[in-house]
Amino acid sequence: MASTEMTPVPPNVETPSSSRPTLKQSHEGEHHGDYGGQEIPLLQATKVFALCAAVNSCNLGFDIGVSTSVGQLIQEDFELSDVQREIFVGSLNFFAMFGAFASNYFSDSYGRRQTFIIAAIGFIFGIIIMSLAPNFGILIFGRVFVGLGVGVGMAVDPVYISEISPAKHRGRLVTWSEIAINAGIVLGFSMGIFFADINTGAQWRIMLAMGMILPSVMIFLVINVMPESPRWFVSQGMEAEAKTVLEQVYPPNYPVTEIVDDIKEALERERIAEQTLGWSVICSPTPAFRRMLIVGIGTAVAQQAVGIDALQYYLTDVLETSGVESNRMQSFIMVILGGVKLAVIFVSGSLFDTRGRRPLFFASLLGMAVALLALSIIYWTSDNDNPNAVLLTIVIAIYLACFSFGMGPGAWLVPSEVFATSIRAKAMSIATTLNRATACLMSSTFLSTKNTLTWAGFFLLMVFVCLIVCVFLYFYLPETKGRSLEDMSVYFAEITGDTSILEAEKKLRGDEAQAVLDGAETPTGNAAEQEASATQEGGTLT
């Protein structure tokens, strides 16, 4: 257990009050005793571990990209109806829901590394079945295993990267997962160019079979390169192993013992809070945990509610409306669009750690709303839904760029960091499950919704969704830039006035913490200025 000696309270935080009893222990920094004064370099080992995990996301993206290209080919080869094609596209996300829901069991029981292997095996097995499928039923059966692999992989990837990353660089490194997804999407799109000259029946089978390469690479990297998460080691009582990993991702002579102590304290704090209520933290959450769940799960759901997967899976249909009917040309345009979407993430990755999470989310959502409104106008003013191909491609590129600027990577960054250590795997699995459920709903109803509302009506509907999400995040999303993972429970307790978490912190911090909790000691400085500063940093605090 770490020392109970109190570190001086930073001056730019909210003053305790009778309506919101707070214990000011949260701050930007790597651990409780670090107020951000020490520069933490990004070491080569940390980059390697994050890149290895990102290969898993690249694999997920490949399936999205290749499914966009093979959807029409399979429909033609098996003579499927539009509804059957929607089932094929939506089934991936439907089965991914179950994989995501089960991921917390694998992640907590066997560790993050073994969970990566489980996801990869699911991919390989499912792809073999799909690429050899003689009919639509067997194709969907193979889709079951690929979907389960997607769900498990999507849940564990951002969690692993966040848990091996120093707080100062976490925003940038977790966005590598989104970068890898989009790199995979571009690879999947490009398959349509490489195999365009092969007959339809063989073309889609070869394109799907190419998806076995990345999960095989992932298994090799897990076994030979990647260490286990230090947070998981501590949760299993393996503190020496946790220190060994932390020593690889922090500079020489950095006090990694204090980080291990913080992880232990966070687990103990959350255990005490749970025992105080006598209920499961997730099923009957305290105000702090409720706010975590609303923010983390709500952000994950919102990512798909804005229509990104629906548009990506049916890009070929959108391009056909503008007169682009060649499969090779469609694939070429999709590679360009995917490249734009990928390039913007490199910009936003560093901005998350410098500008913060909130500004990028708002800029992203407002930009998408404007682009979607432009798409609606383009279709509404065009004759017979036949818009100009160049104009349509440019506006879609703007929409995808705005998505990648904030909503794309941020929707995985926020859930991976806001959930307390004791519930991170479980809550992340719930967030991923509902993310995939929303994606399933959007992708499996896209053609039907478009036929009902027309193209113009569908894109206008998405404008309103973007604005609703923007309002939701404005009121509920606090700024988490630079805060350690172990700091989140106290930070959210301060935001919500959650006394159960604060009482747990008080027990861990000793009598001096009691004095602060009771208001015997308060931070210096103008209270009004401190309240305004806290509101600006963390969003609405009620």
pLDDT digits (tens, 9 = 90+) for 31-42: 666 655 567 888
Residue 20, pLDDT above cutoff 60: no
Contact partners, residue 58, CB within 8 Å, separation at least 6: 180, 181, 183, 184, 187, 214
pLDDT for res 516 = 45
pLDDT for res 205 = 92
pLDDT digits (tens, 9 = 90+) for 503-522: 665 665 554 444 444 554 44
Overall pTM > 0.85? no
Where does the pLDDT of residue 338 fall: very low under 50, low under 70, confident under 90, or very high at 90 and above?
Answer: confident
Residue 369, pLDDT above cutoff 90: yes
Residue 138, pLDDT above cutoff 70: yes
pLDDT digits (tens, 9 = 90+) for 115-130: 999 999 999 999 999 9
Q: Which of 156, 46, 142 is CA-nearest to residue 95?
A: 142
Helices 82-110, 136-163: inter-axial angle, 10-degree rounding = 40
Where does the pLDDT of residue 523 fall: very low under 50, low under 70, confident under 90, or very high at 90 and above?
Answer: very low
The rounded percent of the chain whose pLDDT value lies above 70 is 82
Q: Which of 58-72, 258-272, 310-324, 447-461 is predicted least confidently? A: 258-272
CA distance 103 to 85: 28
Highest mean pLDDT among 191-195, 365-369, 448-452: 365-369
Amino acid at 450: K
CA distance 27 to 38: 14
Compare 59 and 29 and report the one with higher pLDDT.
59
pLDDT digits (tens, 9 = 90+) for 78-95: 988 888 888 888 888 888
Compare 271 and 335 and report the one with higher pLDDT.
335
Question: Is residue 85 classed exposed, middle or buried when 0-12, 13-18 and 19+ CB atoms within 10 A define those classes?
Answer: buried
SS3 of residue 183 by DSSP: helix
Residue 465, pLDDT above cutoff 80: yes
Q: Which of 68-77, 453-462, 516-525 is predicted least confidently? A: 516-525
Where does the pLDDT of residue 495 fall: very low under 50, low under 70, confident under 90, or very high at 90 and above?
Answer: confident
Where does the pLDDT of residue 502 fall: very low under 50, low under 70, confident under 90, or very high at 90 and above?
Answer: low
Average pLDDT over residues 415-444: 82
pLDDT digits (tens, 9 = 90+) for 282-296: 677 778 888 999 999
Compare 240 and 485 and report the one with higher pLDDT.
240
Cα angle 459-321-393, degrees, rounded to a multiple of 5: 70
Residue 491, pLDDT above cutoff 80: yes
pLDDT for res 270 = 64
Residue 68, pLDDT above cutoff 50: yes
Mean pLDDT of the chain: 80
CA distance 112 to 119: 11
Q: What's the distance, Cα to Cα, between the start and end of the chain in Å?
A: 32
